[in-house]
A and B are shown apart, each in its own frame.
Chain A
Amino acid sequence: MATASGTFTRFISPSGVSPLGVSAVLGAWMLIVILPLLGLVLWSFLKLENFQLVWEPTLQAYRDLLSSGRWEVTVRTLRIAAIVTLIELALAVPFAVWLAKGTRSVPVKVITLAALTIPFFLSLSARTIVWRAVLGLNGPINSALMSLGLIDQPLDWLLFSEFAVIVGLIGPYFPPMVFPLYLAVTLIGDELLAASKDLGASPAFTFRHVILPLALPGLGAGFIFTFIPMIGDPVVPELLGGGQVVVLASSVKSLLQVLNYTVAAALSVFMLAIMVGLAAILTLVLRGRVRRQST
């Protein structure tokens, strides 16, 4: 191709791009992304009877979504994922800053990074099931609290509750939050921190106005690696929720076991709508901030 033989520095204006290429990308996009989504939306307006699709538009799947309380499952899943992500942020940001800039000792860094990696060699269920012994009615926490005389009945909300699920999720999703943050903070030049200090900035001021803005890409990546997979993870909620903290993944699995594709599709469309809504709110808020700053 003529344009490709030039150097990479040469700018190709949109009008100079081959229309063939544009339509190829557009076609692939339609085929891979838009078409399946449309299929999903279509299925959500049909219904199943005796494992058979009834080709007749209906809102039945959405009514089922409301009457079976499945919409609440979506909201709960997002809530749990958001709470855990916030906890991870609060824990991971100081940890990553310390690991990247706070400690100069190489052995400490190596050991810490290894400690963050090693748990991945064990399956998530194996790591999670341990919490049941710890948080159970006859577990060490309840025993300790009772022998200290702080409680006279074991606390039953420690296990098989949303609390237990949140506690259980913190461990597995800590490394995916720390690693991108650690990389981002490592990339901040020491001279920037020194300059900030020389100009009289307090550590808090440096953190707020130098480290945080520069670590933002790491923060974004950390958010994506924790929040998004957590939405689709049934392992911890099933093991520690005792079947009473239902999340999206389990709900969809249960639907697919009886081949109820239409309600599964409606659930996915509902989820999609929430995500689009959240993204829209975020965009509006950010745009508002940018406008305020530029005036």
Chain B
Amino acid sequence: MKSKKVSNISRRSVLKAGAAVLATPYLISRPARADEGTVKIMGVSTVALQDWSAFEADTGLKMDFVGVNSDPGLYVQEVVANEAGDSYDIFIFDGGIEDRLGASGHFQKIDPAAMKLWGAVADSVKSSALLQGADGTQYGVPIVFNADSFGYHVDAISEAEPFSWGMVFENEKMLGKVALEDTWLTTLPNAALYLISKGKAITDPSNMTPEEAKMTADFLIERKKAGQFRALWHSYEESVDLLGNREVLIAECWEPVIKQLQRDGKNVRYASMKEGYSKWMIGAYLPSQAKDERLARAYKALDWFLDGHYGAQMAIQQGYATANPQAALAFAKAKGLSEADLGAIKLNIEKVEQKMTLPHYWQNSAPQHVEAIEAEWQRFKQA
């Protein structure tokens, strides 16, 4: 085989390309060197709490949380090219990224013995492919996760749950009544789940080969030409809007969207599925630069994420699952929280246990053939 000359994207070449402009907000907001009592986290905004005072009271550490979007490209650039591990103690990002950054030595192996609560985390959760490298090395600690499907107007669908993904992608009764999320990350694998149920050969919906991605895009283009899809949404508010004013009757969406619409009195439900869910996992990863006292501080912070306070807050406010739900329940009981709040936590435990058992699939923000997959997605949008 012909050998290829491959170079890492160094800080210099990125600057040369002018691409550093993209990372400017992060570069500017980069904090100065760590002081002893502070934990610096660069994490996706989904996992952030509005108020970290409980963290600071429980651990005696200060929290310095810099929020970023779920753009794997930018994240890799921060970690690899800008050596963010020099100044951040913990990275929290959509799982999948550790396959690459673990193998390249940017993340270090997790030491289970360094955390008190690691043993309380269910095996099915911590062994997620989104926390382990391709070789099975544990690089990530589970922070927040869920199983996504679609929301629908109850009066529009007569069939009973669980549904097939065909409800969204191949549904003659719902022509022009369906909204999709505008991203290859979820919509392509969701369509692939349906194709698998129709007998098509796709090995891993979240890590498709270029050929599999092409087949899925071809199917989506065919359905687009048939007039299946009304719109593709880009933001939380847009999906609330589309479903809320009945511009569409079915929308691939996030669970909090349905929670909000139900609070507004709409008769909508979040679907349970036959073939599987778009399961996602946001993990915490430790930079290889973190050592000694810095590392101990990071593990102390991670232990807090695995404890009850954080889990209870996430379940009540967002309906999202956390790694140690029993601790969340115990925390809520000890604090004397309302029945409604306890109910939200219990419902979450039940729902997650039920949904997480289906084999497919864990969302993967960094599939091996990401360039080809993104190109196929553009071909669908363009068609």
Q: Which residues of A does B touch, CB under 8 Å? A: 36, 39, 43, 48-56, 64, 67-70, 72-73, 132-133, 136-138, 156, 159-160, 238-239, 242-244, 246, 251, 254-261, 263
Contacts and interface: CB of A to CB of B under 8 A. Distances in A.
Interface centre among B74, B180, B382 (most CB of A within 10 A): B382
B34 to A, nearest CB: 27
Interface in B216-251: 224, 229-234, 238, 241, 245-247
Nearest to B374: A258
Contact of B233 (A55, A136, A243, A256): A243
Contacts of A132: 241, 247
Interface string B335-376: 000000000000000000000000000000000101100111
Contact of B16 (A39, A51, A70, A160): A39
Nearest to A55: B5
B57 interface: no
Contact of B246 (A56, A69, A138, A156): A138
A164 to B, nearest CB: 11
Given A54-B4, A73-B382, A261-B19, 12 more contacts: A36-B18, A48-B371, A50-B100, A51-B80, A54-B5, A136-B247, A243-B180, A258-B72, A258-B371, A259-B9, A259-B77, A260-B374
Contact of A244 (B16, B232, B247): B232
Contacts of B180: 243
Contacts of A69: 378-379, 382-383
A51 B180 CA distance: 27
A208 B114 CA distance: 82
B50 interface: no
Nearest to A260: B371
What band does the interface of chain B fall in when counting residues whose beta carbon is under 8 Å from A?
35 or more
A238 B234 contact: yes
A255 B374 contact: yes
Given A56-B5, A67-B375, A244-B231, A51 B71 contact: no
Contacts of B203: none
B291 interface: no
B113 interface: no
A51 B368 CA distance: 10
A259 B73 contact: yes
Contacts of A238: 234
A251 B378 contact: yes
Given A242-B232, A257-B71, A259-B77, A64 B247 contact: no
A51 B231 contact: no
Given A69-B383, A242-B230, A246-B382, A259 B76 contact: yes
B45 to A, nearest CB: 16
Contact of B378 (A136, A239, A254): A254
Contacts of B76: 51, 259
A49 B6 contact: yes
Contacts of B71: 257
Contacts of A160: 230-231
Contact of B374 (A43, A137, A254): A254
B176 A156 contact: yes
